[in-house]
């Protein structure tokens, strides 16, 4: 019956986690997966989340099915964070929003929707991007191409090439953009560059799909959504997928959202209905526990403020690790600049290590990172930073 089923090679990043787990070395380090660990190397359970969970547990909350598009308070939370609590676009009820199974689920529901209603559209992702962007859009039937983005020569962006490329695309082609904390490079567009990119998106009538999985980890909660709010100001109609996995440290609860900015309330209602239709046919309704946690934290002023501060603690620890790694590498390799490590945003740093150097650092030092040289800076802490800096300097010599 199943003899024709081909083996699955496995996901490269998740496979790396398995290898790290099996490594018997005591000083091994996991810089592979994009997960925030605290200074003790532990996955935090945020205080605001613990308080919300206490409310759910006492008295125990029954677990009926949630609506297809999630709890109303959850949807409002996504909208307020992304567009701003008092945004006119929300008052005008122009945004269709649904809860989704993580940011991944948002990408999937959005990709299915776009493929159904714009069957000719192609999808373009940054070169490089989070590999699952390609997987999810291909899985929804898209041909996926790449737009120029990272410039290894300067550790910056091939901005002129990017603009020239966008100008060659067809109306309704999907351009997948990272509003902040680009995964995997950590290199973001400046606000002035966003303005230019969005001008081309508007002029060519492209369909922007903004995927934000790290709000609060870049500059702050508002600056990180500059591109989203600017697109609204410019009158663009577009998609936003958001994830609470990282900023609420709720990875396994699968909490995300999909928002579509529409022309008017009637259009938003139609889009909302089609999103519900898609969800009904894929998984019916989203998970309850994470949904309630998000709803409680985001809609209680005290818990919300506590949450924002907890995100900034995570953000600042990552920035501190970036500075320490840079200082240490510059001390060990005089004459070489590692400024790019502190200029990058969010959880990831493209280190510039070649695949050979990555293979060596894994083999000789038990430091696990993705073959493209991406490290999750949040895997660094006071106990391992010197070890990692030494090893990096050794393979970079």
Which residues here bind ligand PMP, judged by CB under 6 A? 34, 102-104, 130, 178, 183, 211, 213, 243, 245, 256
Contact 128, 184 (CB under 8 A): yes
3-class secondary-structure state, position 165: helix
Structure tokens of 190? 């400046």
Query: Residue 131 or 393: which CB sits closer to ligand PMP?
Result: 131
267 vs 372 by CB, closer to ligand PMP: 372
Residue 182 tokens read as: 């680009």
CA atoms within 13 A on the CB side of 24: 0
Q: Which is nearer to ligand PMP, 14 or 331 (CB)?
A: 14
Q: How far apart are CA 121 and CA 53, in angstroms?
A: 42
Region of 216 (left: φ > 0; alpha: ψ -120 to 50; beta: rest) is left
**Rounded distance between C-alpha atoms, residue 240 and residue 266, angstroms:** 19
| Catalytic-labelled residue, pool 246, 295, 307, 324 | 246
Task: Give the position of tokens 């605001």.
Answer: 48
Choice between 228 and 395, CB closer to ligand PMP: 228
* Cβ at position 3, least distance to ligand PMP in Å: 33
Shortest distance in whole angstroms from residue 344 CB to ligand PMP: 14
User: Does the active-site annotation cover 130?
Assistant: yes
The nearest distance, CB 27 to ligand PMP, in angstroms, is 26
Which of 380, 379, 382, 362 is closest to 371 using CA atoms?
A: 362
SS3 194: helix
Residue 7 vs residues 10, 125, 137, 316: alpha-carbon distances, Å: 9, 27, 22, 42
Shortest Cβ 130–ligand PMP spacing (Å) = 4
For residue 261, the cross-strand partners are 95
Q: Which of 130, 158, 295, 324 is catalytic?
A: 130
Record the tokens describing residue 166, joined without a space.
Answer: 């966008």
How many helices (H) and strands (E) the chain has is answered by 15, 13
Q: Are 114 and 285 in contact (CB under 8 A)?
A: no
Catalytic residue among 69, 112, 188, 211: 211
> Which of 34/186 has CB closer to ligand PMP?
34
Q: Compare residues 105 and 366 and give the one whose CB is closer to ligand PMP.
A: 105
For residues 125 and 146, the answer to whether their CB atoms sit within 8 Å is yes
The question of whether 246 is a catalytic residue gets the answer: yes
Nearer to ligand PMP, 28 or 374 (CB): 374
Least distance in angstroms from the C-beta of 136 to ligand PMP: 9
Strand 174-177 and strand 156-157: the pairing is unpaired
DSSP string, 301-316: HHHHHHHHHHHHHHHH
Minimum CB separation of residue 132 from ligand PMP in Å reads 7
Three-class SS state of 289 = helix
Least distance from ligand PMP to the Cβ atom of residue 131, Å: 10
To ligand PMP, the closest distance from the beta carbon of 224 in angstroms equals 13
Give the residue with the Cβ less far from ligand PMP, 127 or 330: 127
- Closest to 146 measured CA to CA, from 171, 121, 132, 165: 165
The tokens describing 144, both together, are 């996926």
Q: By the 8 A CB rule, do 353 and 370 touch?
A: no
The residues that are catalytic are 130, 211, 246
């Amino acid at each position: 019956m199943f003899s024709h089923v081909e083996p699955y090679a496995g996901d490269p990043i998740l496979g790396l986690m398995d290898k790290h787990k099996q490594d018997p070395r005591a000083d091994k380090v996991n810089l592979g997966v994009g997960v925030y660990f605290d200074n003790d190397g532990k996955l935090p359970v945020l205080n605001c989340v613990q308080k919300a969970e206490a409310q759910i547990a006492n008295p125990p909350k029954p677990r009926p099915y949630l609506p297809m598009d999630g709890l109303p308070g959850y949807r409002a939370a996504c909208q307020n964070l992304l567009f701003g609590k008092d945004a006119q676009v929300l008052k005008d009820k122009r945004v269709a929003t649904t809860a989704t199974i993580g940011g991944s689920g948002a990408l999937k529901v959005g990709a299915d929707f776009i493929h159904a209603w714009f069957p000719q559209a192609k999808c373009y992702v940054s070169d490089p991007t989070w590999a699952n962007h390609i997987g999810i859009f291909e899985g929804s039937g898209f041909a996926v191409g790449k737009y120029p983005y990272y410039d290894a020569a300067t550790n910056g962006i091939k901005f002129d090439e990017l603009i020239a490329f966008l100008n060659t695309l067809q109306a309704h082609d999907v351009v997948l953009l990272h509003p902040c904390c680009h995964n995997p490079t950590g290199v973001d567009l400046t606000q002035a560059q966003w303005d230019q990119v969005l001008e081309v998106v508007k002029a060519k009538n492209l369909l922007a799909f903004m995927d934000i999985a790290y709000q609060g980890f870049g500059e702050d909660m508002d600056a990180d959504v500059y591109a989203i709010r600017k697109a609204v100001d410019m009158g663009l109609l577009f998609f936003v997928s958001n994830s609470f996995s990282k900023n609420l440290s709720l990875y396994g609860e699968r909490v995300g959202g999909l928002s579509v900015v529409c022309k008017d309330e009637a259009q938003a209602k139609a889009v909302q209905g089609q999103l519900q239709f898609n969800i009904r046919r894929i998984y019916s309704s989203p998970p309850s526990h994470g949904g309630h946690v998000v709803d409680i934290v985001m809609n209680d002023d005290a818990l919300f403020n506590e949450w924002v501060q907890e995100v900034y603690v995570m953000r600042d620890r990552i920035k501190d690790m970036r500075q320490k790694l840079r200082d240490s590498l510059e001390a060990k390799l005089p004459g070489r600049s590692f400024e790019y490590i502190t200029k990058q945003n969010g959880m990831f740093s493209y280190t510039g290590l070649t695949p050979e150097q990555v293979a060596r650092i894994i083999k000789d030092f038990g430091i696990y990172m993705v073959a493209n040289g991406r490290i999750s800076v949040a895997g660094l802490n006071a106990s391992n930073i010197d070890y990692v800096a030494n090893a990096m300097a050794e393979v970079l010599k």
